[in-house]
Chains A and B, each alone.
Chain A
């Protein structure tokens, strides 16, 4: 039986953001953009969606005098990610068989 894949996470860019934030404590917008190769506008929209879902926390701060957006995964985001991976496993197991 397949578990349903979370549609919010089953998108290339949002999944990349979540995977990246899962392996660090926090990361700034520029770093996420460099790692994902996404455009600033698109990234901003996807971060906003994840933030509204409560999967990530966004903090507006400063690096010296330069504005900086720090993103951090929330416990809710970690749980959603784990459930997504579990669901993914069921799909992979099926296709392997």
Chain B
């Protein structure tokens, strides 16, 4: 493309071609932050379950606060490196998950302060909702379904006992992060 004058029809064609090229395209590897959070969260849930199970000490739950401290800087780095453009969809998804992260930290704080695990229900429900919302925004049905299943599973936490709820939570992490992460990566590779 050069700095040359064009006809009016060429102008219109060029405008629509450029808009078509950028709209509704996911950045390549856009599932990476989901995968990082997903696998780390599953690993944390299993390790914390093992530690509580072995020692009967609920204070191992404080380890959850290490997760965002590890994952957020890495996700910010990945996001910054892979980003060559920001669409309106990217911005909406980013803010959904930032608000989600803050809400989850507050929910986890309450769980640890009040020594019960009721907040795991809200955590699972919110995670499922945000994944479903992400799926709706990026228009990928399997991501919406994964989020909806996580939402449907969340009340089961209320009927489970003690640290075993963490096992259900790890399943929720697979549904809200790992599966959508792989789907997003696959889709972004196909439409790059």
Contacts and interface: CB of A to CB of B under 8 A. Distances in A.
A76 B72 CA distance: 36
Contacts of B80: 63-64
Interface in A62-97: 63-64, 85, 88, 91-92, 95
A27 B4 CA distance: 23
B15 A11 contact: no
B9 A31 contact: no
Interface in B42-85: 77, 80-81, 83-85
Interface string B23-58: 100000000000000000000000000000000000
B77 A16 contact: no
A63 B78 CA distance: 10
Interface in A3-21: 5, 10-16, 19-20
B190 interface: no
B83 to A, nearest CB: 8
Interface stretch (B87-95, B96-104, B163-171): B87-95
Interface residues of B, number: 30
Interface residues of A, number: 33
Interface in A33-61: 35-38, 42, 45-46
A88 B90 contact: no
Contacts of A26: 85-86
B71 to A, nearest CB: 18
Contacts of A88: 8, 11-12
A15 B86 contact: no
B1 A64 contact: no
Contacts of B17: 19
Nearest to A45: B3
B18 A11 contact: no
Contact of A13 (B3, B9, B12, B23): B3
A27 B168 CA distance: 41
Interface of B: 1-6, 8-12, 14-15, 17-19, 21-23, 77, 80-81, 83-88, 90-91
- 4 nearest A-B residue pairs (beta carbon): A19-B18, A31-B84, A27-B85, A25-B86
6 contacts: A12-B4, A12-B6, A13-B1, A16-B1, A24-B87, A64-B80
Given A20-B19, A20-B22, A30-B84, 10 more contacts: A11-B5, A19-B18, A23-B18, A23-B22, A25-B86, A63-B80, A63-B83, A64-B81, A88-B12, A92-B9
